[in-house]
Amino acid sequence: MYGPNHHGWIEVVVGPMYSGKSEELIRRMRRAQIAKQKIQVFKPAIDNRYSVDYVVSHNGEKIQGICISSSEEILELLDEDTEVIGIDEVQFLDEDVVHICRDLANKGLRVVAAGLDMDFRAEPFGPTPKLLAIAEFVDKITAVCMECGNPANRTQRLIDGKPAKYDEPTILVGATESYEARCRLHHDVPR
């Protein structure tokens, strides 16, 4: 994105669900490939095995990625000749991802991390805030608010169509859970 050179750096792309973070990550990775740079893409796994999968955006764009269950696995699975690494859904990784990204950038790699900056309560999410602090380049992108059409920077959690309460458990048996992009005005987290 910022031109080929031999210095590493960290780029972070954040925003709510549906803001186009995966799309943007895929776009940057594709452009690195056009520049003939060796890329590797990682994403947190749902189970705890390594597997090759795809980073898929909501509009159907996809790129091959490696599922990891801890950020340490980025170092274990990194090929010697990789120049650009992409990490999707970085908010779900452990805090070690922050110093791993820093060390890789120090070694000369370009690190592109995408993820949620805030959880459904609009509170900082996992390691993302620390990564934002140490990154050279930060893009906060917005989705479209499903209530008013204004730029949305928050993710509304809905349980059976109603705003989820602040303390609502993560797993809800028998309930339908969904998420929507919302602006500050229309984001609701009842206590």
CA-based nearest residue to 160, from 144, 148, 172, 146: 172
Q: Which is nearer to ligand ADP, 97 or 181 (CB)?
A: 181
Q: Name the token pair of 1.
A: 């994105």
**Annotated catalytic residue within 11, 24, 83, 89:** 89
State yes or no: residue 176 binds ligand ADP (CB under 6 A): no
Cβ 170 to ligand ADP, closest distance in Å?
18
- Residues 66-95 touching ligand ADP, rule: CB under 6 A, are none
Among 5, 48, 59, 170, binds ligand ADP (CB under 6 A): 59
Cβ atoms of 112 and 86 within 8 Å: the answer is: yes
CB of 22 to ligand ADP, least distance (A): 3
Q: What distance in Å separates the CA atoms of residue 41 and residue 28, rounded to the nearest whole number? A: 11
Among 38, 58, 62, 140, binds ligand ADP (CB under 6 A): 58
**Whole-angstrom Cα distance, residue 72 to residue 154?**
29
Choice from 78, 146, 158, 159 touching ligand ADP (CB under 6 A): 146
Q: Which is nearer to ligand ADP, 8 or 156 (CB)?
A: 156
The DSSP annotation for 153-169 comes to -EEEEEETTEEPPTT--
Please say if 89 is a catalytic residue. yes
Give the number of residues in contact with ligand ADP, rule: CB under 6 A.
Answer: 15
Lay out the site mask for ligand ADP across 13-42 (x = CB under 6 A, - = otherwise): --x-xxxxxxx-------------------
Token duo for residue 10: 């960290």
126 Ramachandran zone, left/alpha/beta (phi>0; psi -120 to 50): left
Inter-CA distances, 15 with 100, 138, 140, Å = 22, 11, 5
What SS3 class is residue 64? strand
Instruction: Indicate the residue among 19 and 128 with the shorter CB distance to ligand ADP.
Output: 19
Residue 125 touches ligand ADP, criterion: CB under 6 A:
no
Q: Which residues of this protein are in contact with ligand ADP, per CB under 6 A?
A: 15, 17-23, 57-59, 143-144, 146, 181
Active-site residue list:
89
